[in-house]
Amino acid sequence: MKEIVLSGIRSTGNLHLGNYYGALRKFVNIQDDYDCNFFIADLHALTTSTDPAALHASVKSVLAEYLAAGIDPEKATIFIQSDIPEISEMYLLLNMHVGIGELMRTASFKDKARKALGIATGDSQADDSEEAFEREIIGASTNKRVNAGLLTYPTLMAVDILIQKATKVPVGKDQLQHLELTRRFARRFNSFYGVDLFPEPTDFDFGGAPVKVPGLDGSGKMGKSEGNCIYLTDDPKVLRKKVMRATTDEGPQAPNSPMSEPVANLFTLLELTSTPEVVTHFRDAYADCSIRYGDLKKQLAEDILAVTTPIRERVSDILANEDYLRRVVRDGAERARARASETLKEVRHIMGIRPL
């Protein structure tokens, strides 16, 4: 029996190069060797998305992007979270064993809640802002509220994982705390009821250093919210323009100078998408001060396009084939529900929700 792997991507827009190198491409590489389950977390997307049409469109585009990147529905189970009603029911049940305190202390909750309340993060003293934060949450008026779904986000994510009894969960660094909570909830449930129902999931170890995909704005990683990203479906004109506008510096002032972060980021992107020869060529040019960033960017744009163009073309073919999309998610939901309903049945029984 193959080990059960599960991972989800929230449907909050199109997928970018960071999603591709950080997740999709790795998923493709393991789909022969594991019982892979990849889903679109539309219920999680609802915690921050308020536009129904945008949510619906994004579910479809993320699905097409999964498939276009090479995830094979014959090998992996691909499904939409909301197609599995068992998840919503188990979310209610598991919440009975989750503390609001531990949820409020979760880093991602604090972040998103602060954003929702318009509290600045950073410079104010930690203690002060903690108290202000709690006061603001409790006293928040209805127009600046922190929705309860945001608070219970980790419960829902734990359910995604536990309902499939997945043991290996590929996630990014920002999701490790959620995975830690999942393990805690699993242990708590097992020991509270004296059962051995849930295995404790761990992060999937792909080996080697984690892939870092930087953004184009000179700092940090590529991410939707940062407006610094290259989407897999960007058309060539848009993509070239974005790359040409990427932040750089005034150029090396002396041979073999260290690189500034924005320039190092462009080299990181080049290393991901280009050949070793090209990378070496530009590194040498940087070292002897003959580099022209315009040339580097032109090359980088073409190399990125070589990666994204086949994906973009497949996305558009796949989106045009609605029957195929429906078939994929119908089959996926059927498989995912089979396991989910088994687990839910056990959970209900264990908790005392039993037929008369």
Is 337 an interacting residue with respect to ligand TRP (CB under 6 A)?
A: no
Residue 157 sits in the site that holds ligand TRP (CB under 6 A):
yes
Is 221 designated active site? yes
Residue nearest to ligand TRP (CB): 8
Among the listed residues 200, 241, 196, 95, the one whose alpha carbon sits nearest the alpha carbon of residue 154? 95
Q: Which is nearer to ligand TRP, 89 or 303 (CB)?
A: 89
| Contact (CB, 8 A) for 47 and 149 | yes
| 7 scored as a contact of ligand TRP (CB under 6 A) | yes
Contact between 150 and ligand TRP by CB under 6 A: the answer reads no
Give the binding range for ligand TRP (CB under 6 A) out of 1-9, 83-91, 189-197, 267-275: 1-9
Question: 223: left (phi > 0), else alpha (psi -120 to 50), else beta?
Answer: beta
Give residues 35-74 in contact with ligand TRP (rule: CB under 6 A).
Answer: 41, 44
Q: Cα–Cα distance between 22 and 173 in angstroms, integer?
A: 11
Instruction: Quote the radius of gyration of the chain (alpha carbons, Å).
Output: 23
Candidates 47, 58, 77, 175; binder of ligand TRP (CB under 6 A) is 175
Q: Whose Cβ is closer to ligand TRP: residue 116's or residue 140's?
A: 116
Would you count residue 80 as binding ligand TRP (CB under 6 A)? Answer: no
Residue 260 sits at the vertex; the CA angle it makes with 274 and 241, to the nearest 5 degrees, is 50
Site membership for ligand TRP, residue 332 (CB under 6 A): no
Nearer to ligand TRP, 36 or 304 (CB): 36
| Sole binder of ligand TRP in the list 62, 71, 171, 213 (CB under 6 A) | 171
**Is residue 112 flagged as an active site residue?**
yes
Look at residues 297, 295, 306 and name the one whose alpha carbon lies nearest to residue 236.
306
Separation between Cα atoms, residue 27 and residue 61, nearest integer Å: 18
Amino acid at 19: N
